Chain A
Amino acid sequence: MKTIWFAWLMALVLTSCVSAPPKGQANLLCFLTDGQTTRQDVIVTLGQPSARFEKERILTYRLGYDPKNHGYYMVEREPPTESGWSTWWHAKYSLVLVFDDTGVLRKHSLVEVN
């Protein structure tokens, strides 16, 4: 009986020590190369952007950051508060991608927003 209780106690102690696996991917943005990466590559890799400007010449993504593995992960636009403003609780960076007329990445910037 004591063994069972001890096993339960150990299980409880051990499970409380388990931490969530890191969310981010350190190399998530490594594929981005100005002059080479296409819009199609970006959408296939990162998914749909959180915003588009100038007829999709400029795309933006919201990214979270996990310090455990120095990794980035995608964050969707958050629903706005009652005042109508979208929040940045979960996103730390805004990735801005500017494409040329042929859809090839011309410039990009990872802006620390929060």
Chain B
Amino acid sequence: MKPGPSFAADIFALPAALTLLMFVPGCVIIPTPEFDSGSARANLNKQSPAQLEPGVTTMEDVLLRFGEPDAVSPDERKLGYRSEKVVGIWILAGGYCAASGAITRDHYLLVELDENGVVRNRALSGQWLFPTTPDTLLETKGWLGASSASMDETATISGQVFWFPNTEGFKKFSLGPGEYSRGYLALTSSALQFRDRTQLGNTSPRWVLPYSMLTECRIAKFGFGRRVVIRTRDDQVYSFNFVHGTFDDKKKTEAACEFIRSQINSPDSSGSSQTKP
């Protein structure tokens, strides 16, 4: 299995990107000695894979040596570690304006484990400029990047959302930290499952709301904004809206509301429990 683009591809990717930048008027690229960016772990190097012996090293050994992984698959059979090195600086200037940034190179250590938690394979890969996502590295089909691992992969609708517990639509304009969160919502056959994006892939969703617990689902509108508002039997209210990148995904938000309504009205909708943080 090959996690993300290969080194060979990277060798061509960087010069291509740098060449493009050089043709932009007023763009300067200054190569620097490699150093850790500070935002990612710094305890990975070329020797790291050799420290893990397939058939011998266990998950416990991997964690004791490298620490908490940066990504985990839902079944804990894949662990991902990432480091980020700065290799240069770009400066773009024109007129009275200027901008600059770092040119980075990521390294990923992917550790695959067998059903007994013993290392089956491990590989180090690299990526210039644009990081490989956790999903791509662990091949989790778009579930882990938004941190949703143990959620039902057969969910009808799923994606990144802004989640507003105890908020009815747009009634609160000033929301403080903790009053909303960004994460991943899956509408499964029996429940809404919300996973906070800070959660690792092998943990349970932070909120599970079975459709059988819901009494109401409607769309709240404010200008171009749309939010789904749901109310539970114990009169708790939640709102959410799907996002695509930094933009609201109005179509998906409205489709989600339709789907939840159909599930509330369905005689088959049943759930086991409601969990809260």
Contact = CB atoms under 8 A, between A and B. Distances in A.
A31 to B, nearest CB: 19
Contacts of B197: 79-80
Given A54-B59, A114-B38, A84 B67 contact: no
Contacts of A89: 38-39
A51 B76 CA distance: 12
A76 B67 contact: no
Contacts of A93: 67
B47 interface: no
Interface string B112-144: 000001000000000000111111000000001
Interface string A63-81: 0000000000000111111
B39 A77 contact: no
Interface stretch (B21-29, B166-174, B198-206, B220-228): B198-206
Contacts of B144: 84
Nearest to B117: A54
Interface residues of A, number: 31
A62 interface: yes
A44 to B, nearest CB: 19
Interface string A2-22: 000000000000000000000
B187 to A, nearest CB: 21
B82 A96 contact: no
A54 B76 contact: yes
Given A89-B39, A113-B42, A80 B60 contact: no
Contacts of B67: 60, 93-94, 96, 109, 111, 113
B60 to A, nearest CB: 5
B64 A98 contact: yes
A83 B84 CA distance: 13
B43 to A, nearest CB: 5
Interface of B: 36, 38-43, 59-60, 63-72, 76, 82, 117, 130-135, 144-147, 182, 197-200, 202-203
